[in-house]
Amino acid sequence: MDWDGPWRALPLGLLALATLIAAADAATPPAVRLVTIALAAAVAAWHWWMVLAHPQWPERALTPMAIYFAGLLALAWLLSARHPAYTLLVIACFPMAFVALPGRHAYLGVAASAVVVLGDPVALVRSGDSWPRAAAVLGIAALAAFLGWVIRAMEAEVGRRRAANRALESANLRLAALGEENARLQGKLLAAARRTGVEGERGRMAREIHDTVAQSLAGIVTQLEAAEEAADDAAAVRHRLSVARNLARESLTEVRRALHELRPGPLTEARLPEALSALVTGWGDRHELPATLTVTGTARPLHPEVEVTLFRAVQEALVNVARHARAGRTVVTLSYMEDVVVADVRDDGVGFTPSAVSSEGFGLTAMRQRVNRLAGNLGVESAPGQGTAISVSVPAIPATAEWGTT
């Protein structure tokens, strides 16, 4: 609660009440009452100008407020000397000391107000009959000082809490802005990765075509030319045609495989968990090996590039298990986390020493390239006789993220 508002208005209220009492006092001569009312108006103008018209002064300026408080106390003392009702205004100086004066200066204001209420402290010491009054005034001053200290402590605590709340709200806003910026940057990263990936994929396809289809076509042309030259030898012609036919079939198989690798068919009909379930089940049936898929976390739609990368990684890892591991069991785990998605493929096969392998081979290299394009991580852990574990971690970019064009 803001206590300053009520306390700043208190002197005007007590001044108005005391002025009504003094004006209604028939025992006072009219001329004296007019002078008293004029002094009360001067006090009201003084308080309005120094406190209400300039609310920033009590918070920042010690000198104007010290002048204000001294003037208020002097005018209150003068009015109380003219009529006892204005003692209310003198009493109002106790809380006003804490409103107007900063820090420990407020306690000096309380002491000065107590002196004004007491009147002549020296006379009080000499007269034993005035001690009860002095004790009462000092008690009021002590109570005012204590209440002022309590109120300031409460205001300081409220101020600290408000500052803490503002800092927390500011931090939450910054976190929300960072989250939006992170999502936007992830979308841009994916778009850039896709543009870069297209060039890499084109280079890979060019190498594949050169190493497979182009060589096969060149072999077919060579066999057909040889068959034409041996037209008189039927056996040689049949042999050349047979070789050319086999090369054509191999080329067709390579083309279909390359097209299949461009976009996984299972992901066109189902989401990633369902596609991986079908992949693992089909792989286990074909190779007659126990294989299981476990999905942890809350599955959610991801960016197509993310799902393709994870699907291809698991697919390539299973191919390696079938070719090299001689495993008795394979376990695939798909873990959805807050910021990343992780696919793990573990087998209990023969394993190997990763540092002793000079080259990972094209499959694992292509897997690593795919993962790196998404700013992900690929980890391979293995040891002779202890199986192999391949872990792929990529950012959990949502399906609604920005999709770049090439």
**HSE of 124 in the Cβ direction (CA atoms, 13 Å)?**
17
CA gap 340, 283 in Å, rounded = 26
Q: How confident is the model at residue 243 (pLDDT cuts 50, 70, 90)?
A: confident
Average pLDDT, integer, range 281-302:
90
401, 306 Cβ separation under 8 angstroms: no
**Under DSSP, is residue 266 helix (H, G, I), strand (E, B) or coil?**
helix
Q: Quote the tokens at residue 110.
A: 């309380």
Average pLDDT, integer, range 237-249:
83
144, 94 Cβ separation under 8 angstroms: yes
Distant-in-sequence, close-in-space partners of 339: CB < 8 Å, separation ≥ 6 = 395, 396
Residue-averaged pLDDT of the chain? 77
CA gap 375, 394 in Å, rounded = 7
Average pLDDT, integer, range 192-214:
63
Q: Which residue has the higher pLDDT, 137 or 66?
A: 66
**HSE of 350 in the Cβ direction (CA atoms, 13 Å)?**
7
Distance of CA 371 to the CA centre of its chain: 27
CA gap 91, 368 in Å, rounded = 83
Average pLDDT, integer, range 217-227:
80
346, 387 Cβ separation under 8 angstroms: yes
Q: Quote the tokens at residue 312.
A: 């291809």
CA gap 33, 19 in Å, rounded = 9
Q: Which residue has the higher pLDDT, 382 or 2?
A: 382
Q: Which residue has the higher pLDDT, 290 or 194?
A: 290
The whole-number pLDDT of residue 137 equals 54
The whole-number pLDDT of residue 1 equals 42
The whole-number pLDDT of residue 50 equals 79
The pLDDT of residue 333 is above 90: yes
Q: Which residue has the higher pLDDT, 266 or 370?
A: 370
Q: How confident is the model at residue 122 (pLDDT cuts 50, 70, 90)?
A: very low
Which residues are 392's β-sheet partners? Answer: 343, 378
* Other C-beta atoms lying within 10 Å of the C-beta of residue 15: 22
- Picking from 104-113, 165-174, 277-286, 317-326, which range would have the lowest pLDDT averaged per residue? 104-113
**HSE of 57 in the Cβ direction (CA atoms, 13 Å)?**
17
393: left (phi over 0), alpha (psi -120 to 50) or beta: beta
Overall pTM > 0.85: no
The closest alpha carbon to 147, from 92, 93, 108, 98, belongs to 98
The pLDDT of residue 401 is above 60: no
Task: Tally DSSP H helices, then E strands, for the chain.
Answer: 14, 5
Angle between helices 131-208 and 105-118 (to 10 degrees): 160
Instruction: Give whole-number Cα distances, 1 to 145, 151, 165, 173, in Å.
Output: 20, 10, 15, 26
Beta-sheet strand order (sheet of 377-382): 291-296, 330-336, 340-347, 388-395, 377-382
Residues in the chain, total = 406
DSSP letters along 257-287, please? Answer: HHHHHHS-THHHHS-HHHHHHHHHHHHHHHH
Average pLDDT, integer, range 105-128:
62
Q: What percent of the chain has pLDDT over 70?
A: 72
Q: What is the DSSP letter of 212?
A: I
68, 50 Cβ separation under 8 angstroms: yes
Which residues are 378's β-sheet partners? Answer: 392
Instruction: Give whole-number Cα distances, 94 to 118, 120, 209, in Å.
Output: 13, 18, 96
Instruction: Give whole-number Cα distances, 203 to 111, 197, 258, 376, in Å.
Output: 90, 10, 13, 21
Give the torsion through C-alpha atoms of 344, 350, 355, 361, to 10 deg: -70
